[in-house]
Amino acid sequence: MLRYSLKRLLSLIVSLAVASVVIFAVIEVAPGDPASFMLGVNAQEDTLAALRAELGLDVPKVQRYFDWIGGLLVGDFGTSYTYRTPVAQMIADRMWVSLPLALYALALSTLIAFPAGIYAAARRGKPGDVAVMGATQLGVAVPNFWFAMMLVLIFAINLRWFGAGGFAGWDKGVWAGIHSLTLPAIALALPQAAILARVMRSALLDILGEDFMRTARAKGLTRRQALWRHGVRNALIPVLTILGLQFSFLLAGSIIIEQVFFLPGLGRLVFQAISSRDLIVVESVVMLLVFAVIMVNFLVDLAYALVDPRLRDRT
């Protein structure tokens, strides 16, 4: 198990290094000079040069890469070109919205998907299964911003249980924060839950056909006991894979939902930074997201080994 973890950790570090080079290179070769963008098309050549020097754009690219990486390692993400504030602070502020939102949505999605998937698998082909599968079909097909607008219409405008948007902030108490994230989390969770429930169901159905399920029944387990004791844990491997992918998506992919609910999250930050060629912010956020994705994959790998003893011995 230790060897397995160390190996995963090593591959994590290598992935991060490779990712940082790729991100830096891609953003550097993208057209658009931040200095000329900030000063407009009529700027004087010497003013541009002065701004470039100030932003640190005049040093060689390799050196800029290492300056950037070195900064990242000690938590110095540089200074935003447009806002002239530390990028680290900007990201941290947004993280306090995006991370709780992603976790909240993931928890909701799991809470909906697991029971739904297991229920459907246990009643394969029966009305309960058909109903759940129909609902998930809808969940996959309908975009999450539509759910978002419906939720606002029903729960914010008609019932007035929640605010229609904006974020209360954590300093007014945990409850206020959670309250203002609830509708966006539900809107994000529904399509994810639909996918996850389908994966859970099909993974379980595969497992139900396995020989050891028949063995379990021959021992005297009821259908339900066999499903819970022998089926669910074996079905977790594909489910965990999807869960990992979904978390990564939720962290950065909630940009539309953030717009609908006026949330100051990471998605909006990236969107604004790209529009204003604030490359240093884009680089840092993308790097952070890559880090999050790779970390989640690492955790999923460790979770595999917890679920399946065969993986612990594999190197």
Q: Give the binding site for other proteins (CB under 8 A).
A: 3, 210-212, 214-222, 225, 229-230, 233-234, 307-310, 313-315
**DSSP alpha helix (H) spans, 40-173:** 45-55, 61-73, 87-122, 127-141, 144-151
Nearer to other proteins, 60 or 125 (CB): 125
Alpha helices in 30-44 (DSSP H): 34-39
Q: How far apart are CA 225 and CA 301, in angstroms?
A: 28
Q: Between residues 141 and 218, which has the closer beta carbon with respect to other proteins?
A: 218
Q: What is the DSSP string of 225-283?
A: HHIIIIIHHHHHHHHHHHHHHHHHHHHHS-HHHHHHTT---HHHHHHHHHHTT-HHHHH
CB of 297 to other proteins, least distance (A): 21
Question: Helix (H, G, I), strand (E, B), or coil: what is residue 44?
Answer: coil
Smallest separation (angstroms) from other proteins to the CB of 247: 23
Of residues 67 and 308, the one with the C-beta less far from other proteins: 308
**Identity of the residue, 179 or 217, whose beta carbon is nearer to other proteins in the bound complex:** 217
* In the complex, minimum distance from the CB of residue 4 to other proteins, in angstroms, rounded to a whole number: 11
Asked whether 1 and 309 are in contact (CB, 8 A), the reply is: no
Q: Tell which phi-psi region holds residue 196, choosing left (phi > 0), alpha (psi between -120 and 50) or beta.
A: alpha
In the complex, minimum distance from the CB of residue 220 to other proteins, in angstroms, rounded to a whole number: 3
**Least spacing, CB of residue 216 vs other proteins, in Å:** 7
Environment class of 63 (CB within 10 Å of its CB; exposed 0-12, middle 13-18, buried 19+)? exposed
CB nearer other proteins, residue 225 or residue 276 = 225
